[in-house]
Amino acid sequence: MIPIRWSIAALLFLSTVINYVDRQTLSVVAPVLTKELNLSPLEYSHILTAFLTAYTLMYLGSGFLVDRWGTRTALAVFMVWWSISNMLHGLARGAVQLGMLRVLLGLGEAGNFMAAFKAISEWYPAKERAFVNGLVQAGASVGAILAPPVVTLLMHWYGWRWAFVATGLLGFFWLGAWLYFYYSPEKHPRVSEGERELVLAATSGLRKSELTWRDLLRFRQTWGLLLARFFSDPVWWFFLFWLPKYLVENRGFTVAEMGMLAWMPYLTADAGSILGGLASDRLVRRNWGVLNARTAAMLPFALLMPLSAVVAFTSSRYAALGLICLVTFAHMAWKTNLVTVTNDLYPANIVGSLAGIVAFGNGLGGTLFTILTGWIVQNFGYTSIFIIMGCLHPTAFLVFRALVRGPVRSEHANQEG
């Protein structure tokens, strides 16, 4: 019999796949939609910013709601909300309506990751956390892989409006399985006693805490994680929102070719998510300190990211696509370990709130960079964007090393004692 925690891991993976298919539907239909609705690159960036603004603000709210409602209820509510919001995109008639619908989508989608972080803290010991976080991050990549060919076919057969409706329906197929399988380890009606004891013993080190989200802002670890996400995550947002347009408008791919090839950088990102998590988990099994293991795994991937700047100066469109694949691999390997530190350093009962605060850096960096991208692309093209992206991860690593030094619970205990 498959242990319950691995069934839960599969559902967290699938929820993230659906999250990204829904999110990426707009990016895939953008070359057609922007022409039909007569949207400029700057208007398109404003629509993306509407999503990111709501997404960023809801990181804080969804983290609180996950801690308040519990993982099971919270993720079910978020899934229903964003699925309906995505379906409503098919009714959009202009930039304003599309922007409003993106706000609704952003309000729901942020909660997926807050709930996943909470579930990982509740169900997985340190030697498994990075791998499961890797699965969640891989779900993002798989969703991004599936979106270009699937949405392109749906758009070809039924038009871009029905593509939104079809992808929005996916969440309702997932919902029943989630409600059946997910409960906390203490209350799960179908977990074996052996697995329950294993999980509770392994996660007991992340004891409960009376810290509030305001208390979390006093720790330098919180600011280190937030700023590391602020500097590094804009790279991922660029490839999510701008890659299809870049390949069609600047690298000479047709819409059909884009639909057949745009999945490749997300496939390598998928590999980075899994291998990055396995790398640090392997070090933990060799008795490395948990934080040292995550940091050692992050460094080589941060050093690979300046290859992004080379993309802009590569004449071959296939060489450029290959470099983009390497960059997305390195980014997701980095990110898997960075987000796992959240589970490693903080008490389990406040992980939702903490993850929301940290992810605020992700959304804030992505929002500002998306606005900047729209302005730069419209006026100067993509070269400067790729150069800027090459500098972001090394900067994020330096900030992380300066501010993240050890578990929060130890410092809090010292303050209390």
Question: pTM above 0.75?
Answer: no
Residue 203 inside a domain? The answer is no
How is residue 125 annotated by DSSP? Answer: -
Q: Which helix (H) or strand (E) holds 33?
A: helix 4-36
* CA separation for the pair 231, 223 (Å, rounded): 12
DSSP 146-209: HHHHHHHHHHHHH-HHHHHHHHHTHHHHHHHHHHHH---TTT-SSS-HHHHHHHHHHTTTS---
Residue 415 inside a domain? The answer is no
What is the pLDDT, as a whole number, of residue 211? 62
Write the pLDDT tens digit of every residue in 264-287.
888 898 889 888 888 888 898 888
Residue 98 inside a domain? The answer is yes
Write the pLDDT tens digit of every residue in 73-89.
999 999 999 999 999 99
Instruction: Please give the residue range of the domain that contains residue 82.
Output: 4-182+213-404
What is the pLDDT, as a whole number, of residue 103? 93
Q: Which two tokens stand for residue 197?
A: 């004891």
For residue 50, which amino acid is it?
A: A
* CA separation for the pair 229, 223 (Å, rounded): 10
Residue 193 inside a domain? The answer is no
Write the pLDDT tens digit of every residue in 1-37.
678 888 889 999 999 999 989 988 988 888 788 788 8
Cβ–Cβ under 8 Å, residues 274 and 131: yes
Residue 414 inside a domain? The answer is no
Cβ–Cβ under 8 Å, residues 130 and 277: yes
Write the pLDDT tens digit of every residue in 355-387.
778 877 877 887 788 778 878 887 888 888 899
Give, in order, the Cα–Cα distances in Å from 340 to each of 4, 120, 126, 200, 296.
21, 9, 9, 19, 13
Write the pLDDT tens digit of every residue in 306-340.
999 998 898 888 898 999 999 999 999 999 899 88
Residue 412 inside a domain? The answer is no
Q: Which two tokens stand for residue 379?
A: 């006026």
Give, in order, the Cα–Cα distances in Å from 55 to each of 101, 134, 378.
12, 21, 24
Length of the chain (residues):
417
Q: Which two tokens stand for residue 219?
A: 């720790």
Residue 205 inside a domain? The answer is no
Of 312, 326, 320, 277, the residue nearest 128 (C-alpha)? 277
Write the pLDDT tens digit of every residue in 29-70.
887 887 888 877 778 888 888 888 898 888 778 878 888 888
Q: Give the number of other Cβ atoms within 10 Å of residue 355's Cβ.
A: 28
Residue 199 inside a domain? The answer is no
Number of domains in the chain: 1
DSSP 69-112: H-HHHHHHHHHHHHHHHHHHGGG--SHHHHHHHHHHHHHHHHHH
Q: Which two tokens stand for residue 181?
A: 């399988």
- CATH value at residue 177: 1.20.1250.20
What is the pLDDT, as a whole number, of residue 415? 36
3-state secondary structure at position 242: coil
List CB contacts of 117: < 8 A, sequence separation 6 or more: 133, 339, 342, 343, 351, 352, 355
Write the pLDDT tens digit of every residue in 201-256.
766 654 555 666 677 778 888 899 999 999 998 988 888 778 877 888 788 787 77
Instruction: Report the b/e string of 273-302 with b at 16+ CB within 10 A.
Output: bbbbbbbbbebbeeebebbebbbebbeebb
* CA separation for the pair 219, 208 (Å, rounded): 17
Give, in order, the Cα–Cα distances in Å from 167 to each of 18, 47, 138.
8, 19, 19
